[in-house]
Amino acid sequence: MKKIRKIGVLTSGGDAPGMNAAIRAVVRTGIHNGLEVYGIRRGYQGMIEGDIIRMDSDSVSGVIGLGGTILQTARCREFFAYEGRKKAYEQLVRSGIDAVIIIGGDGSFTGASIMSKEFQIPFVGIPGTIDNDLYGTDYTIGFDTALNTVVQAVDKIHDTAASHGRIFFVEVMGKEAGFVALQSGIACGAEGILIPEQKGELDKIRQYLTDRAKRKKSSIIMVAEGEDEGGAIAIANKMKEEFPDFDIRTTILGHVQRGGSPSALDRIIASRMGKDAVEALMDDQKSIMIGVVNGRIVHVILSKTVKLHKMVDPELLEMADILS
Ligand code: F6P
């Protein structure tokens, strides 16, 4: 196998707090090991267009605490087609890049998996998404910060909800998964949590609202955006019709969940993953994702991370039910 001398790093898909810490770790570990490191700007779009810059140690100074991604990101439709991936490969060859570290979520890893089969280029993935929905890792970069953002916001909503005796349906991100809703719901002490992984929960909310009339107090119901009933607004409207005596409000937290300075946990996980990704490439590994399981770094076959489905922890579901 060709010895790796030049590596590229990119961020792709939705940005997540901690991506910069991962870029920093890749750049500095690469340089420490005598590699040249190149930043590919705007994800696969920049790869296709050859928007590639040399990075040195100073280029990642002071970025560990910054949210977003200094390399910028994109959701690139052109990369879905073979022609787009061929252009991207040609740009990598032109720049002399031997291997690529991709920081992103399932869509980004699907693209990397396909391209690594079509062209001779090693890819290593670092899971970066607030959704925490990738198989093979307990954590994805950005999840912890997003949880803390949701908790801070919902604590504030709780103050006003309590003052007015209102019921709030709060919608959080997570794409088709309920990890953000479940764990933030537990951390906020939500009275109900609606996630796509658990069916029939709306009936429990109905029962709760029926009982609640006797003990009138405020409530927070956490709703995952991918939840089956159509999101917080649709559910709140349904509940308003069924329970016209209750004062029901909706908040959609939206992209505020993706911003902000990364938590200490996200910075540390991102640093560990970034360092390990470079070392894995130098060790001739390819088409893997760096994960964290039970606190330890693991390597998972890249295609498995997108084909297999990450399950929510049934113990957390049970606990949320008992404590609500
Ligand atoms: O995957 C991260 C995520 O924030 C999801 O939770 C959400 O569904 C999606 O990205 C939003 O994407 P965009 O910023 O492109 O609207």
Transcribe 291-320 into DSSP letters.
EEETTEEEEEEHHHHHHSPPPP-HHHHHHH
Q: For residue range 166-197, what is the model confidence (pLDDT) as tens digits?
A: 999 999 999 999 999 999 999 999 999 999 99
219-224/296-301 β-pairing: unpaired
- Cβ–ligand 1 distance for 130 under 6 Å, the answer yes
Burial, 72: exposed, middle or buried (Cβ in 10 Å; 0-12, 13-18, 19+)? middle
Question: Would the pLDDT of 320 be above 80?
Answer: yes
| Mean of the per-residue pLDDT values of the chain | 96
pLDDT-derived band of residue 29, with 50, 70 and 90 as boundaries?
very high
The residue among 257 and 200 whose pLDDT is bigger is: 257
Cα maximum dimension of the chain:
72
Q: Give the closest residue (by CA) to ligand 1 atom 11.
A: 14
- Distance, CA of 43 to CA of 314 (rounded, Å): 35
- State in Å: Cα 15 to ligand 1 middle: 8
pLDDT-derived band of residue 215, with 50, 70 and 90 as boundaries?
confident
Q: Give the closest residue (by CA) to ligand 1 atom 12.
A: 14
- State in Å: Cα 131 to ligand 1 middle: 8
Whether 133 is a known active-site residue: answer no
- State in Å: Cα 14 to ligand 1 middle: 6
Query: Cα–Cα distances in Å, from 105 out to 9, 11, 60, 109?
Result: 14, 9, 22, 6
- Distance, CA of 132 to CA of 268 (rounded, Å): 16
**pLDDT attached to residue 132:** 98
Q: For residue range 277-307, what is the model confidence (pLDDT) as tens digits?
A: 999 999 999 999 999 999 999 999 999 999 9
Question: Would the pLDDT of 206 be above 80?
Answer: yes
Question: Would the pLDDT of 125 be above 90?
Answer: yes
**pLDDT attached to residue 8:** 98
Which one of 3.40.50.460, 3.40.50.2300, 3.30.365.10, 3.40.50.720 gives the CATH number of domain 145-258?
A: 3.40.50.460
Q: For residue range 41-50, what is the model confidence (pLDDT) as tens digits?
A: 999 999 999 9
- State in Å: Cα 255 to ligand 1 middle: 8
Nearest atom, ligand 1, residue 75 CA: 15
- Distance, CA of 154 to CA of 170 (rounded, Å): 8
- Cβ–ligand 1 distance for 173 under 6 Å, the answer yes
Structure tokens at 225: 């955006």
Q: For residue range 79-101, what is the model confidence (pLDDT) as tens digits?
A: 999 999 999 999 999 999 999 99
Percent of the chain surpassing pLDDT 70: 99
Burial, 250: exposed, middle or buried (Cβ in 10 Å; 0-12, 13-18, 19+)? buried
**pLDDT attached to residue 1:** 60
Q: For residue range 247-275, what is the model confidence (pLDDT) as tens digits?
A: 999 999 999 999 999 999 999 999 999 99
**pLDDT attached to residue 210:** 92
Q: Across residues 4-25, what is the average pLDDT?
A: 98
Q: Across residues 109-118, what is the average pLDDT?
A: 95
Q: Do the domains 145-258 and 6-142+262-307 match in fold?
A: yes
- The domain spans of the chain are 6-142+262-307, 145-258
Question: Would the pLDDT of 232 be above 90?
Answer: yes
- State in Å: Cα 104 to ligand 1 middle: 12
99-104/248-252 β-pairing: unpaired
Q: Give the closest residue (by CA) to ligand 1 atom 3.
A: 14
Q: What is the DSSP letter of 128?
A: B
Nearest atom, ligand 1, residue 257 CA: 4
- Cβ–ligand 1 distance for 105 under 6 Å, the answer yes
> Is the CATH number 3.90.1150.10 carried by domain 6-142+262-307?
no
Question: Would the pLDDT of 61 be above 70?
Answer: yes
Q: Probe ligand 1: pick from 173, 223, 257, max atoms within 8 Å of CB?
A: 173
Angle between helices 314-323 and 179-188 (to 10 degrees): 30
Residue 153 phi/psi, 5-degree rounding, is: -65, -45
- Cβ–ligand 1 distance for 125 under 6 Å, the answer no
Q: Probe ligand 1: pick from 108, 131, 140, max atoms within 8 Å of CB?
A: 131
Q: Give me the catalytic one of 15, 98, 106, 131.
A: 131
- Distance, CA of 5 to CA of 39 (rounded, Å): 14
Question: Would the pLDDT of 220 be above 90?
Answer: yes
**pLDDT attached to residue 91:** 98
**pLDDT attached to residue 143:** 98
- State in Å: Cα 174 to ligand 1 middle: 7
Nearest atom, ligand 1, residue 258 CA: 4
Closest CA to 65 of 250, 226, 214, 264: 264
DSSP 136-205: T-S--BTHHHHHHHHHHHHHHHHHHHHHHT-EEEEEE--TT--HHHHHHHHHHT-SEEE-TTS-SHHHHH
Nearest atom, ligand 1, residue 226 CA: 8
Q: Give the closest residue (by CA) to ligand 1 atom 7.
A: 175
**pLDDT attached to residue 3:** 87
- Cβ–ligand 1 distance for 85 under 6 Å, the answer no
- State in Å: Cα 2 to ligand 1 middle: 37
